[in-house]
Amino acid sequence: MMKKNYLLLTLFFTITFCYSQKKEIDSISFSLEKQLLTFSGKVNGKTIEFALDTGAAVSVSNSINNKTAGVEILDSNKTINDSSNKKIKIKSTKIESLSIGNFEVKNLKGVTFDMPFLYCTNLLLLGQDFIKKFNWKIDFTKKLIYISEKPFPTDRSYHKWTVYYNSNRPLIDFTIQNKTFKNCLLDTGFSGVMEINSKDTDIMNTIFDEKKSKNQADEFVSTNMGLSGLGNPESYSTFFVDEIKLDQTVIRQLPVTINKTKESKIGINFFSQYSDVLIMNFNENAFYLKQSGKPLLPKKQMDAKAFFIDGKLTVISKNMNENSTAKNVQIGDHIKSINGKNASEFTECELLQWAYFSKEDYILEKENGEKIEIKSSSHLK
């Protein structure tokens, strides 16, 4: 009898220990090669590559993910405005099982849409419907993500940001020249550093005018990619802000981009440069950042980019600076070839990945045969 009780007790502690070991914390490797934070997980038992997106209220799959993992497509449709202000209809989904490491959520309700970037890179956008159920520690030096049901411990070396939410998405306040603005989105699905809506923050236009007068700003006109594809051309400018306070953290010489239509947000290129470690303790409604000490740099932008519009290879972005190598290129110009490769030789996905990821100088040939070497002529060096 004693032996039997001993065996039962041993089995109980073994099961309890294994369960706690499984659930307490897990770690997985990640990559920033696609300009987003990506890692592998499972959907319905099938391996899928995810992009971590705290700016998305719900997870978004594409038709490749759905076919691979057998994601159930529901009859219900939703109409939303994408980032290009286009109204689009998207279908709802039901994912029986979504797991990252040992952490699983069952019967997750998401949406599906073949957003060109996500489709071409075969990524499933992991939104706050999964992310906010756990706590996350992102070690940018080791390229590891740690996941836990309990908050991660911190110490005095971390800067704490207290977050609040709108539509399940994390927000903070920011302050410039003693004026505080609300609703800045903490968006790991945004590949930039920081974007500020200048329509809501007039002070940014004054700062831009000062920087422009000193040739310390880059001006672009660009047709940006939204959930449904390309939108209308818009102007935006990038420059260094001398001092800005994000929540209670003072940051000097921060590269920001201003425009009049997009919401204010902080992206993964900020977190990966500013922090050695980022902790997102959603149980505490707090982000913690361990400063890296590295200088913050803007994303490198080529002076012109092209993509397919109505089957034609078309210029969609142009640097407007006086030193731009794209002076003889206009938004909407049709392009015959890139680096000697004719437009007809590109697939849409090849061209999209070139436009997003390539930072090398290239030769653009216009339809009239004029060849132009396109470089990056930023004032922000």
Give the domain extent around 358.
304-374
- Torsion sign, CA atoms 56, 59, 64, 68: positive
Q: Are residues 30 and 142 in the same domain?
A: yes
Q: Starting at the earlier edge strand, list the strands of the sheet with 362-366.
A: 341-342, 335-338, 362-366, 371-374
Neighbour tally for 38: CB within 10 Å: 18
- 362 lies in some domain: yes
Per-residue pLDDT of the chain (381 residues; tens, 9 = 90+): 444 454 444 444 444 444 334 558 899 999 999 999 999 999 999 999 999 999 999 999 999 999 999 999 998 777 765 555 566 788 999 999 999 999 999 999 999 999 889 999 999 999 999 999 999 999 999 999 999 999 999 999 999 999 999 999 999 999 999 999 999 999 999 999 999 998 878 899 999 999 999 999 999 998 766 555 566 788 999 999 999 999 999 999 999 999 988 899 999 999 999 999 999 999 999 999 999 999 999 999 999 999 998 889 999 999 999 999 999 999 999 999 999 999 999 999 999 999 889 999 999 999 999 999 999 999 887
Among candidate residues 115, 148, 181, the one where a domain is terminated: 148
Provide the phi-psi class of 87: left if phi over 0, else alpha when psi is between -120 and 50, else beta.
beta
Q: Are residues 191 and 139 in the same domain?
A: no
Q: Are residues 185 and 259 in the same domain?
A: yes
- 192 lies in some domain: yes
CATH code for the domain of 362: 2.30.42.10
Q: Are residues 257 and 192 in the same domain?
A: yes
Q: Are residues 222 and 330 in the same domain?
A: no
Q: Are residues 336 and 249 in the same domain?
A: no
Query: Is the separation of the CB atoms in 348 and 120 below 8 Å?
Result: yes
Q: Are residues 177 and 251 in the same domain?
A: yes
DSSP at 361? -
- 379 lies in some domain: no
- Torsion sign, CA atoms 327, 311, 234, 332: positive
Q: Are residues 242 and 344 in the same domain?
A: no
- 289 lies in some domain: no
C-alpha angle 161-162-164 in degrees, rounded to nearest 5 = 130
Query: Is the separation of the CB atoms in 169 and 285 below 8 Å?
Result: no
- 7 lies in some domain: no
CATH code for the domain of 47: 2.40.70.10
Q: Are residues 38 and 127 in the same domain?
A: yes
The HSE-up count of residue 233 (CA atoms within 13 Å, CB side) is 16
Based on its alpha-carbon atoms, the radius of gyration of the chain, rounded to whole angstroms, reads 23
Among candidate residues 245, 267, 289, the one where a domain is terminated: 267
Q: Are residues 220 and 256 in the same domain?
A: yes
Side chain identity at residue 32, one-letter code? L
- 285 lies in some domain: no
DSSP at 44? T
Q: How far is CA 194 from CA 102, 203, 230, 296, in A?
A: 33, 16, 21, 11
- 154 lies in some domain: no
Number of domains in the chain: 3
- 51 lies in some domain: yes
Q: Are residues 174 and 137 in the same domain?
A: no
Q: Are residues 139 and 178 in the same domain?
A: no
